[in-house]
Amino acid sequence: MTAPARRRVAIVAGGSRGIGAEISRELAAGGTDVVIGFAQDSGTADKLAAEIGEAGRGRAKAVRADIAEPDAVGRLFAEAEQRYGGVDDVVVCAGAHASQRGPLAETDDESFRRVVDVNFRGTFLMLRAASTRVRAGGRIVTFSSSALALGMPGQAVYNASKAAVEVLTRQLAKELAGREITVNAVAPGPTGTELFLRGRPPEAVEALAKQIPLGRIGRPDDIAAVVTFLLSEPGGWINGQVLHANGGIV
């Protein structure tokens, strides 16, 4: 009698809202067990985990974890290992912007600290843990941004942090040679998430949409589809790459 196939287990850091929530839903719909990492809003995270559980495919558990803290990262991996038996896939889509967008000269110390802590340090901590705890044949996806290629004024620290993410991603892809683990980054363009829309007037969003050849800003499910492809078997020959999912804006 053939043993049942082992279920895949994924950690989605920043997996309770926006793009991360769509990734969590899509993975679970395909039968993956998901640990949903969140930093603050336990109500939203627990509601998503319950929604996934009720759908009856993959299972889900919400775990509070600010990925800028090493102990919190450890909790994510420990929860996946203890509850579901191991870790196959890791998605690092938690992110932070400066509290106010503006020139480098006007960026305050707290904004710098938070952006670097979450986007750079947090990604580093997640990748460091993933490098020793993801099972052979696993998949790792980080998040850069097409804002880096656009180079628009007012996002110097954010863009610098995403450049660092791309370096870490490519480096780890090479360092994990021989374990059949892929490491890639996704670089979304303008996407209608709470983080992106916060502080942007509708006319600014419309102006951005007009710059995109496909005529609209992205939706969270547009980006989730790219991530889930990279985590899938058909995406297994893509490694050490940055995929721009932006409708053609760059």
Residue 14: half-sphere exposure toward Cβ, Cα within 13 Å: 24
**Residue in the structure block whose two tokens are 């996946």:** 80
Determine the straight-line distance between the first and last CA of the chain, rounded to whole angstroms: 52
In terms of Cα–Cα distance, which of 9, 49, 13 is closest to 32? 9
CA 140 to CA 142: how far, in whole Å?
7
Question: Computed from CA positions of residues 32, 79, 86, 37, in that sequence, does the dihedral angle turn out positive or negative?
Answer: positive
**Residue in the structure block whose two tokens are 């967008």:** 101
* Residue 158 appears among annotated catalytic residues: yes
Tokens encoding 50: 């319950």
> For residue 21, which amino acid is it?
A
- The separation between CA 242 and the C-alpha centre of its own chain, rounded to angstroms, equals 13
The residue annotated as part of the active site, out of 38, 84, 158, 196, is 158
2 Cβ contact partners less than 8 Å away, ≥ 6 residues apart? none
> For residue 200, which amino acid is it?
R
Catalytic positions, please? 158
